[in-house]
Structure 1
C-alpha cells in the first residue's frame, strides 16, 4: 500500500470518527420543551427555537391548552413522558406554573428554566402571586370575559392595549400580530392552587425583564430566589415577552442549564 493511499484511508477514518463523535454528542443533547403562557402562543418562541436548533438541540414548542393548571400540567407531563432522553422544561409566564407541576413522575426532566414566569409554591395561585407585589398593570387592560357554555370564562388582553402592556420592546408590526393571535386563558387557570412544585428537587434557572408590566420584576426575583435558581438574569428594559425581544439571551440561559445538568 502506498503512503498516499494509507494517508487517504487514515484521513477518511479520522473524518468518519469525528462525524460519529459529533453525531453522538448531538444525540446526547436534551430535548428542550418550550411552554408558552397566557395571551401568547407557540410562535412566541420562534427566535429561541431557531437559536437552539442551530446548536443541535431538539426542540418542541408546546401548544399549551390554557384551560386549567392541572389539565395543562398533565398535558405537558404526557408529552414529556413520551420524549426519549433528558428534557429541559422551559416555561413563560403562566407556563412557569405549568412546568412546575408537569414533572410529576417523569425522571427525565433535568432542568427547569423560568422565562418571565411564575414559580408558585404549593397552594399558591398565579393571580395571587401577580398581585403580591405592586407593579402589575394587567387588570385594566383585559377585555370583557368571554363566557363559555360550561360556565368558565376566557380572558384576553384588549388588542389596542396589548403592545404597551405585553410587548413594549417588540417591533410594532409584530406586536400587532401577537395581539391578534393571542391565546385566551381561562379564569380557572389563574385561580387554581398549584401542587407540589418540581423546583424543590429539579435545578432551575430564571430570566426576566425589568420593565415587565404583567409580573413585577420584584415578584419574579422573589420566586427565583425562593426556588434557589442556579442563575438569575435580569434583562434591563425588557418587556413580559423577553423570549421574543431577546431570544439570544433566553437561548443562552437554556443552553447553560442544559450543559450544567448533562454532566
Structure 2
C-alpha cells in the first residue's frame, strides 16, 4: 500500500506540507508520494501575466500531473487530497484501478461539470489576493498563520510562507470532467477549527462522501495533528 498526497491551492512543494504525516507513515512502513500542480507554477513555467492568463496551466494540467503519479505503479493506493486538491483528484483518479480510497481533507467532491467556483458561501475570501492583471491569486501572507496555521507548531508557521505560490485563476472556473468519488470509496475529514473553509460548509460537502470523520484541528491537520491523520490513513 502507498499514499499519494495532493496539496491545495496557492502553495508549492507538497513534500514540505505533508512531511510530518509522511514521516510518521514511513515509520509504519507506508511510503508516500506527492504531486506537483502546474497551476501553482511547479513545472517551471513563467508566472508573468501573459503566460498565466493566456497559455498558463490550469485544472487540466493539474489533473494530468496527478494522474501521472497515480499511474506510476499499480500498487494499491490511498489518495489524500487537501482543499483544492479534491477538485483535481475527482478527475485524476477516474478509472485508475490502483486507487482504493480517497481521503478528502477540508476539501470538495464535485459532480461532473462543477468547478471550484461553485463551492463556498458566495462571498470573496478575505484571505485571498486576486490580481486580474496577472491572472493569478494567492494567500495574503499577513493572514496566512491566523487563517490556516493557527494550531500549528511555530516552526511550521515560520516556514510556511516560503512555500506559498501564486496560482492561475483558470482553476477557479474550469469544470471537472469526472467524479471518481462516485465509484471509489471515500472518507471526508472535517477540520472543526478550520478558519479558511468554515466547518459548516465542510459538513455540507461531506454529505457526498462514504464516511465522515471530524477532527479538532485547523486547515492543515497533517501538520498540526499529524499522528491523528496518520492513524486515519492507516485505518483505510
Pairwise same-fold verdict (TM > 0.5): yes
Unaligned 5+ runs, structure 2:
40-56
Question: Is 1:244 aligned with 2:212?
Answer: no
Q: Distance in 2 between matches of 1:31 and 1:73?
A: 19
Q: Distance in 2 between matches of 1:220 and 1:194?
A: 19
Pairwise CA RMSD of aligned residues? 1.9
Q: How does 1:129-208 map to 2 (within 5 A)?
A: 129-131=119-121, 139-145=125-131, 147-148=133-134, 153-208=135-190
Q: How does 1:19-168 map to 2 (within 5 A)?
A: 30-41=1-12, 42=14, 43-66=16-39, 67-131=57-121, 139-145=125-131, 147-148=133-134, 153-168=135-150
Residue of structure 2 in register with 1:260 after alignment: none
Helix, strand or coil: the match of 1:249? helix
TM-score (norm 1): 0.76
Query: How far does residue 222 in structure 1 lie from its aligned partner after superposition?
Result: 2.0
Contact 1:206 1:224 in 2 (8 A): yes
Q: Distance in 2 between matches of 1:208 and 1:161?
A: 22
Taking structure 1 as reference, are residues 233 and 171 closer, same or farther at Cα in structure 2, changes over 3 Å only? Answer: same
Contact 1:115 1:250 in 2 (8 A): no
Contact 2:94 2:178 in 1 (8 A): no
Greater shift, 179-188 or 50-59, is seen at 179-188
TM-score (norm 2): 0.84
Query: How far does residue 125 in structure 1 lie from its aligned partner after superposition?
Result: 1.8
